[in-house]
Structure 1
Amino acid sequence: MAKNLSIILAILVVAAGFTASSALFTVSETEQAIVMQFGKVQTVVQEPGLKVKTPFVQDVIKVDKRVLSVGTEREEVVTRDQKRLMVDSFARFRISDPLLYYQSFGNIGVAYSRIETILNSQLRQILGREILTDIVSGERTRLMETIKNQVNVETASRGLEVVDVRIVRADLPTANSQKVFDRMRTQREQEAKEIRATGAEIAQRIRANADREKTVLIAEAKRDAEITRGTGDAEKNRIFAEAFGKDKDFFSFYRSMQAYRDAIGDNDTTMILSPDSEFFRFFDGRNITAK
């Protein structure tokens, strides 16, 4: 009898333990919980800790509370200026309302797929209204914020909050890249030709001005030289005239010395003259008069 009582007590203890374990569940800091009863939502638990439910009747569905990330397939976008771009992007989101999330998607896989679809749609719409230079330049931050806000409009009613959207890459397709590169090279070559032509024109104008100034300077210099030479010749003639008037013999001697210098200088000139020639009259002293 005592043995049977011990067995019964053990069974009761095990049953009580099993019942207690079925009535308790834990929600961690990174989770939220939905308590279901016969397929219907009974309550939503968003605070972490040890919680109680009705055993064998109620079930608990755990929902992630962390910020999650979903990426998109490489998407082709046609811009407003008819340029094709291959865009890579991703979004970060969290489940803000577990009940709406569960009613809308049921599981996280469906939520991922739906956010990816919405993100691709908004990428095509918003980037399609922009020109290429705005997408690849400093306007990208504004565009990502706009895309995030538009995605939030569609996901907020489904219990999801998109906290960030990022455009990772925005590249031209390979064929288009080559065409754009060729067009950019042609434009740069045209700009270079225009710059070189402008430089050549400026250089030609500078050279023409310099040549004109050189011609004027040379003409003025020649004029001044002629004036100076004429003035010098006049002064020389005046001095010669005064010297001739004061002492004819000395003047004649001076002029003869100049003639000797010019005639028998270092130019290898050969002359055959008689020693008593009038040209050498000052060499024998016969025409030098002491004074």
Structure 2
Amino acid sequence: MRILIPILVVVAVVVGLQSVFIVDETETALKFRLGEIIRDDYQPGLHFKTPFINNVVKFDRRLITLDMPPEQMNTAEQKFVEVDYYVKWRIADPSRFYTSTSGGDFAIARSRLAQLLRNDLRDEFAQRTLSEVVSEQRRNMMNTIQTRANERVGDFGIVVNDVRIKKIELTEEVLDSVFDRMETQRTEFANELRSLGRERSEEIQAEADRQVRVLLAEAERDAARIRGEGDARATEIYANAYQRDPEFYAFLRSLEAYQASFGGNQDVLLLDTGSDFFRYFDQKD
């Protein structure tokens, strides 16, 4: 009897442990009865099962990242690019996931999902040019791929939460083509700038020449006006001086005439001494 009691206690403990199971916050669970799924809606916490008749299989309910190896894609203009991308997915229907993947084999799920996304991505790249797949259209393309994937992976009991391209690299052939095109575009742009520069230079030169002609004309006009005003003022001064003392004015004008006539050392004048030109030379007073 003493031996039987410990045995019963051990059996009771084992049966008790086999009768409970815990579902974590990050898990989802399936309960089987002799290999048949009888429940798949467990919430996190402590749950019970019938020992030896029921068994429980748990799956991670968190997002799973499928990091795809870089693959070559062909764009609409037949240019090959190497695309590095990843997918985030999770189990949405554990029963369907279990039955469609041969007992919840994650390798099978990843393989099927990768093939679907690879084909969808190839189709989307084939419909777009290189500039489009690296522009804002890439976000729309990713959303389209995610929507199409979810329409088909529902049979696997999973859902795709995100598809993202990490990097797009050009192949050597495409790089050479892109660099050649960029060089051609830069050359055309530089030639256009030079042409515009020459055109602008000619415009500036023509405008400068026009302004020079205008300034010279205005300067000559002002100089002529000032000379005229000066001559008029000089004439006025001479006239006033003549009116005040005509004799002195005549004498002053004669001296200016003498200075102008005898300015050189070799100047010779043959004039009658009685001419009016020498009338101030004969005056003794």
Letter matched to residue 194 of structure 1? E
The answer as to whether partners of 1:93 and 1:160 remain within 8 angstroms in 2 is yes
* Cα gap change, 1:256 to 1:35, in 2 (>3 Å): same
Task: Judge which range, 155-164 or 201-210, deviates more.
Answer: 201-210
Letter matched to residue 146 of structure 1? T
- Counterpart residue number, 1:7: 3
Letter matched to residue 65 of structure 1? R
- Counterpart residue number, 2:64: 68
- Counterpart residue number, 1:143: 141
CA distance in 2, matches of 1:132, 1:263: 96
**1:74 CA displacement:** 0.7
Q: Does 1:37 align with 2:33?
A: yes
Q: TM-score, normalised by structure 2?
A: 0.80
* Cα gap change, 1:22 to 1:257, in 2 (>3 Å): same
Deviations 1:138-189 (A, max 9, x none): 2222222222111111112211011111111122224422431232132022
Q: Runs of 5+ in structure 1 lacking a partner?
A: none
- Counterpart residue number, 2:207: 209
CA distance in 1, matches of 2:197, 2:63: 60
* Cα gap change, 1:236 to 1:76, in 2 (>3 Å): same
SS at match of 2:58: strand
What is the aligned length?
Answer: 274
- Counterpart residue number, 1:102: 98
SS at match of 1:176: helix
- Counterpart residue number, 1:46: 42
- Counterpart residue number, 1:247: 246
The answer as to whether partners of 1:24 and 1:53 remain within 8 angstroms in 2 is yes
**1:8 CA displacement:** 2.0
Q: Please, what is the CA RMSD of the aligned residues? A: 3.5
The answer as to whether partners of 2:66 and 2:88 remain within 8 angstroms in 1 is yes
- 148, 153, 156: which one pairs with 2:154? 156
- Counterpart residue number, 1:130: 128
* Cα gap change, 1:163 to 1:248, in 2 (>3 Å): same
Letter matched to residue 250 of structure 1? Y
- 167, 171, 185: which one pairs with 2:169? 171
- Counterpart residue number, 2:189: 191
Deviations 1:211-260 (A, max 9, x none): 13423442454355446546755775686578668625532334425754
Q: TM-score, normalised by structure 1?
A: 0.78
The answer as to whether partners of 1:243 and 1:251 remain within 8 angstroms in 2 is no
Letter matched to residue 61 of structure 1? V
**1:45 CA displacement:** 4.0
Letter matched to residue 117 of structure 1? Q
Task: Judge which range, 37-46 or 121-130, deviates more.
Answer: 37-46
The answer as to whether partners of 1:71 and 1:116 remain within 8 angstroms in 2 is no
CA distance in 1, matches of 2:109, 2:159: 12
Letter matched to residue 247 of structure 1? P
CA distance in 2, matches of 1:104, 1:205: 78
**1:130 CA displacement:** 2.0
